[in-house]
Structure 1
Amino acid sequence: MVPILEMRGITKTFPGVKALDDVTFQVMPGEIHALVGENGAGKSTLMKVLSGVYPHGSYDGEILFEGQPMAFGGIHDSEARGIIIIHQELALVPLLSIAENIFLGNEITRRGAIDWHQTYRRTEELLAKVGLREDPQLPVDSLGVGKQQLVEIAKALSKKVKLLILDEPTAALQEHDSQKLLDLLLEFKAQGITSILISHKLNEIDRVADRLTVLRDGATVSHMDRGEISEARIIRDMVGRDMAHRFPERTPELGETLFEVRDWNVFHPQHPDRQVIRNASLTVRRGEVVGIAGLMGAGRTEFAMSLFGRSWGQKISGSATLNGRPADLSSVPAAVDAGLAYVTEDRKELGLVLDETILRNTTLANLPAVSTRGVIDANRERKVAEDYRKALGTRTPSVFQKVVNLSGGNQQKVVLAKWLFTDPQVLILDEPTRGIDVGAKYEIYAIINQLAEQGRGVIVISSEMPELLGMCDRIYVMNKGTFVGELTREEASQERIMEKIMAAEAAMTESV
């Protein structure tokens, strides 16, 4: 059988960095081919070469599609051949309708005007193919992330896709939505559509991939057929070493209660009658890692942001104490001064200034500490950034590198550095390993353990239950804005967490 895609000897160089080094990559017709590697391994760069984002002539090597040499000058050229890429950051316009998004730049026209009747009819057909029954005229921002991802796929189908590339498609999805998307990929496979799946979730790869290619440091390390795929081998090839333990070992040394929240209530910022957090109470001891588990929409992020200087919500009530004294959480600066820090789940939107350097991002939350009489001391600022770069193991040639050019794992380390520089006593980590590879995850886990060993309190919000079970000393279970259970490390399991959630759902149904 002739490959649908061959990439031979692909080499791509940026100033001072060889991002791809003689990469070979081959995909067979009708298969789901997984592409894996650590952040910074070159996966996205390779796909940008393929899709024409990096046009022919900006790289060395050869691309053959359906047996023919390709010289794509831009993304429109690759799309015209049926190669469609769906990026991790969704490329939808929130205030436009589903139909407008699907056919944006590819409008159905009649006599020079958009044919809305045909547009809506065709949209309904495409939505049905991805399992959606939404009104084509609904604004995209009224949909959840899982459904928006399916709209992106429907948009790809509208372009007569032959090769579908999905870059971390389930990174922001809950388990149920992830499974639906993987089922859809298998349906596409049955219809003869070829897919390339980039994912850090090895269980997903094991479930759907027919073959797999591993990249490391910009080079092809290995190819595996389905029968050869195993988590242990993938991890070894990705990181260049065996990882006998997914989570670093830690012997907890817990002290007295450090942080306590009592009867916390929060109402929606745009809908003052809608209560989102109801009578939530939580404690964190010194040296303790506390997890918050829950399904999407449970209110975990809203709870965290409302604590952190009331940066979300209104009509907030309840009490918070730090070191046994009332904590002023009335604003973000007050919360930082009190000893609280919050690492957002969306590092690119809310955690970093992407077009600024590592140095500027590191000191951003605590500029007075690197200033004299209101003027930033450049030498002191550089020393702080260098110290955190070394302490956290951030892989970068210089602290003057812009963070937009870093891998996801290294970006996350810069966010951590920014908040660690404020010397927090309690650090809230919201989805701390979202979208980063298994090797970088281990490094983040090691940093969390170090913080706990220093006597700080750490709150971890995560949609990955194995992560909570592997890292946390206690886990609170949240459902629809209320804590519905609390489990020690010994008591906790995925089944027990889901039991707490389902019991709460059943109780709410009975009370209606």
Structure 2
Amino acid sequence: MDAILEMRGITKTFPGVKALENVNLTVRRGEIHAICGENGAGKSTLMKVLSGVYPYGSYSGDIVFEGEVRKFSGIRDSEHLGIIIIHQELALAPQLSIAENLFLGNEIAKNGVIDWYATTARARELMAKVGLKESPSTLITNIGVGKQQLVEIAKALAKDVKLLILDEPTASLNERDSQALLDLLLELKAQGITAIIISHKLNEISRVADSITILRDGSTVETLDTHAGAIDEGRIIKGMVGREMSDRYPKRTPNIGETMFEVRDWVVHHQIHPDRQVVKGVNMHVKRGEVVGIAGLMGAGRTEFAMSVFGKAYGQRISGEVTLEGQPIDVGTIPKAIDAGIAYVTEDRKHLGLILNEDIRFNIPLAALQKVAPNGVIDPHEETVLARKFRERLNIRSSGVTQLTVNLSGGNQQKVVLSKWLNTDPKVLILDEPTRGIDVGAKYEIYTIIHQLADSGRGVIVISSEMPELLGICDRIYVMNEGRFVGEFLGHEASQEKIMGAIMRREDA
């Protein structure tokens, strides 16, 4: 099979950091080629070099596509040749329709006027190819993340894609949508489209990839051919982290005490459509020293539940009671929830968890500024001392506390968000998708922190779409579907089959 792409000796340097050093990559025509590595290994940087986000002249080395050396000055140059990249943060306009998004910047027009009949007809063709049954006039904001991902792929097909690059395509998807997306990739491969997929989900890579290139610290470790023999996840992990990982989840002997946190008869109505209930009479409790998971499909209401409990940050017409250590607490606003001892780590760390263009020192005190502002004015010395304490405690890998958070890997960004909320001394910590987009090595560190928090006597609630993760770290798991809790299992009794069984029983009811 001939090579559609070769990247030879790619080196890319940012101020003070060598992101890529002499990276070599060969992708065969018509294959699915996976790229694996820890956060900060250089995967996304390499793909930005390939797609022209980092233009020719800002790196050294050669890009050879379809037998010719290419010198892209921008993303339009690479798209013109059929190299299309879909970033982890989807580039869709939420208030425009599916059809409008499909041809944004690539409009079908006659004499400078958009031909809406042709646009709609072509949109229907492309949507059928990716399995979208919605009307082309449906607004992006009215479809789920899984379907938005399909719109991005249809958009790539509209540009006559030859090489499709997907950066963490299933990071925001539930299991069902992830499987549908992987099936679509295999269909596109059968049609002759080559794909590069960046993913931390090794089970997905093992399922679809023909070749796997492993990066570590900005350099190529090796490329594995999956057709030459079965490749177990342990082999991939060893290449990524440079060591054996005997266990994906840290061992722990829980010390669980009495019930410390309860939510009773919790009802939440939709933020925009108040006649719609999104949380329907939920009851839950968390014991001291316990890690409690909430499983469920995308759209089950897990995030809405968590945010509504945290200072009514989501929803309206909220009713129910929250008690902490036997006493009712007021969670009517976010400051009141924080004062009561509740913290919430958002699933969207880049937009809601951090101020990315500020440094670590700036971000960590944000949820409890009074600790570094004894007289109402921020003391830079106190700010630095606090940041250094958490940098050491959570092992935040950075050049120092003045490093911008935008330049940290995903795992280290997550540790900064955790530090921000641990600084409030919470009694109950709610973690929403705490390891989304984080590599296996950093995940292990986050799991260890979660267990340490529980062992210190706190209650920890973990929302995750990765069932193996919940099974690996939780003492008890609630199952949520369509705004209700439909199952509850002790950690050692739970299984993926039981969790899915609880969901499906509810869906069939």
Query: Is the structural similarity TM-score above 0.5?
Result: yes
Aligned partner (choices 249, 257, 260) of residue 258 of structure 1: 260
Q: How does 1:310-329 map to 2 (within 5 A)?
A: 310-329=312-331
Give the secondary structure class of the aligned counterpart of 2:450: helix
Alignment partner, residue 190 of structure 2 = 190
Which amino acid in structure 2 is aligned with residue 203 of structure 1?
N
CA displacement, residues 167-189 of structure 1 (integer Å, 9 cap, x when unaligned):
00111011111111111111111
Give the secondary structure class of the aligned counterpart of 2:364: helix
Structure 1 residue 506, shift from structure 2 partner: 2.6
Alignment partner, residue 351 of structure 1 = 353
Which amino acid in structure 1 is aligned with residue 203 of structure 2?
N
- For the 8 Å contact 1:485–1:500, the answer to whether it is kept is yes
Once the two structures are overlaid, the 10-residue window that deviates more, 348-357 or 74-83, is 348-357
Give the secondary structure class of the aligned counterpart of 2:117: helix
CA displacement, residues 233-286 of structure 1 (integer Å, 9 cap, x when unaligned):
000000111111100011000111111111111111222221221221111111
CA distance in 1, matches of 2:356, 2:484: 35
In the alignment, does 2:45 pair up with 1:45? Answer: yes
Structure 1 residue 490, shift from structure 2 partner: 2.3
Alignment partner, residue 169 of structure 1 = 169
Which amino acid in structure 1 is aligned with residue 464 of structure 2?
S
Aligned partner (choices 392, 397, 408) of residue 394 of structure 2: 392
Which amino acid in structure 2 is aligned with residue 104 of structure 1?
L
Alignment partner, residue 242 of structure 1 = 244
Structure 1 residue 505, shift from structure 2 partner: 2.2
Which amino acid in structure 2 is aligned with residue 325 of structure 1?
Q
Aligned residues: 507
CA distance in 2, matches of 1:127, 1:3: 29
Alignment partner, residue 88 of structure 2 = 88
CA distance in 1, matches of 2:508, 2:147: 25
Structure 1 residue 228, shift from structure 2 partner: 5.0
Which amino acid in structure 2 is aligned with residue 338 of structure 1?
A
CA distance in 1, matches of 2:160, 2:391: 46
Unaligned runs of 5+ in 1: 508-512
Aligned partner (choices 453, 456, 459) of residue 455 of structure 2: 453
CA displacement, residues 419-460 of structure 1 (integer Å, 9 cap, x when unaligned):
000000100000000111111111100000110111111000
Alignment partner, residue 204 of structure 2 = 204
Identity of aligned residues (%): 69
Alignment partner, residue 404 of structure 2 = 402
Alignment partner, residue 510 of structure 1 = none
CA distance in 2, matches of 1:385, 1:415: 12
CA distance in 2, matches of 1:418, 1:54: 32
Q: How does 1:91-240 map to 2 (within 5 A)?
A: 91-226=91-226, 227=229, 229-240=231-242
Aligned partner (choices 480, 483, 498) of residue 481 of structure 1: 483
- For the 8 Å contact 1:212–1:229, the answer to whether it is kept is no
Aligned partner (choices 293, 306, 311) of residue 295 of structure 2: 293
With normalisation by structure 1, the TM-score equals 0.98
- For the 8 Å contact 1:85–1:166, the answer to whether it is kept is yes
Structure 1 residue 133, shift from structure 2 partner: 2.2
Give the secondary structure class of the aligned counterpart of 1:468: helix
CA displacement, residues 191-238 of structure 1 (integer Å, 9 cap, x when unaligned):
111000101100110110000100000000111001253201000000
- For the 8 Å contact 1:351–1:415, the answer to whether it is kept is yes
In the alignment, does 2:34 pair up with 1:34? Answer: yes
Moved over 6 A (4+): none
- For the 8 Å contact 1:2–1:67, the answer to whether it is kept is no
Alignment partner, residue 432 of structure 1 = 434
CA distance in 1, matches of 2:325, 2:112: 69
Structure 1 residue 372, shift from structure 2 partner: 2.2
CA distance in 1, matches of 2:471, 2:7: 41
Aligned partner (choices 464, 467, 470) of residue 465 of structure 1: 467
Which amino acid in structure 1 is aligned with residue 354 of structure 2?
L
In the alignment, does 2:418 pair up with 1:416? Answer: yes
1:218–1:228 CA distance, 2 compared to 1 (3 A):
farther
Aligned partner (choices 417, 428, 441) of residue 443 of structure 2: 441
Once the two structures are overlaid, the 10-residue window that deviates more, 237-246 or 270-279, is 270-279
CA distance in 1, matches of 2:336, 2:4: 58
- For the 8 Å contact 1:3–1:66, the answer to whether it is kept is yes
CA distance in 2, matches of 1:107, 1:229: 44
1:499–1:228 CA distance, 2 compared to 1 (3 A):
closer
Which amino acid in structure 2 is aligned with residue 475 of structure 1?
I
